[in-house]
A and B are shown apart, each in its own frame.
Chain A
């Protein structure tokens, strides 16, 4: 249970919950996360380190940037992401197809 308890403890912080929520939408760089949260960039980095150690988040490098995403080892997380993705995509599709031609969409 060590890993589960570590993960739960990591999620006991509201800022870290907010970070995971945003990473559930899609991968982010640190700067992009910080710009959407009311905390400093160094603070975001610190929270990401805790989440990474808890196995909830992983990082990859894209050039000089580090990109953070939910750790896909819980395959259920991937399915949940797809489930939410298709809900959002199909809702956007319906808005698009039901907009009469020539009428500006949002």
Chain B
């Protein structure tokens, strides 16, 4: 079972160094507020700027909830994170999907940011086994419906 990676590209009006810094230095400044797995909303999102660094959210009460870790760190060219949030919306140290960001400077001074979230089939170690208990049609239904509600 393979799942196509999620790939996104966008152009931002900033040079690569500034884009890289803005992305990584204070993620809570722009990360969607509702997109959290902690028991209470996050106050900060910390990305420790080195290979092996932790990636986690911290709530106002100081409680920390892991999201993953840094797999590659090459400012301002790019970096790779381990996204270790399972399909059950909890941190799972045994799960490792990769999110790679690249920041490519353009002649006009902008930066093309590319995001690839890959190895999504790893979410399915349990999900695929469970899905087999359903008809193929069930997966299609939920897929179509989520497409519909998010369009």
Partner-B contacts on A (CB < 8 A): 1-4, 7-8, 11, 17, 20-21, 24-27, 55-56, 60, 62-63, 69-98, 105
Whether the Cβ atoms of A98 and B134 lie closer than 8 Å is no
Assess the A74–B35 pair: CB atoms within 8 A: no
The majority secondary structure among interface residues of chain A is: helix
- Does B56 interact with chain A (Cβ within 8 Å)? no
Given the interface contacts A77-B146, A95-B30, does A86 sit within 8 Å of B141 by beta carbon? Answer: no
Contact B6 A76 (CB under 8 A): no
A10 vs B124: C-alpha distance when bound (angstroms)? 25
Most buried by B among A20, A73, A81, A105: A73
Chain B residue total in the interface (Cβ 8 A): 50
Given contacts A69-B89, A85-B35, is CB(A97)–CB(B120) below 8 Å?
no
Least Cβ–Cβ distance between A51 and chain B, in angstroms:
11
* Chain B residues with a Cβ under 8 A of chain A: 1, 3-4, 6, 8, 10, 12-14, 18-19, 22-23, 29-32, 34-36, 39, 86-89, 113, 115, 117, 120-121, 123-124, 127-128, 130-131, 134-135, 137-143, 145-147, 149-150
- From known contacts A4-B137, A70-B146, A96-B22, infer whether A75 and B10 are also in contact, taking CB-CB under 8 Å: no
Q: Return the contact of A24 from the options B113, B127, B149 (Cβ within 8 A).
A: B149
Do residues B115 and A90 form an inter-chain contact, with CB atoms below 8 A? Answer: yes
A72-B30 contact, Cβ under 8 Å, with A4-B138, A17-B149: no
Measured in the bound complex, the distance between the Cα atoms of B14 and A98 in whole Å is 7
Given A4-B141, A96-B22, A73 contacting B127 (CB threshold 8 A): yes
CB nearest neighbor in A for B31? A89
In the complex, chain B residues whose CB is within 8 Å of the CB of A87? 8
CB of A83 within 8 A of CB of B6, answer yes
Q: Which residue of A lies closest to B146 (CB)?
A: A80
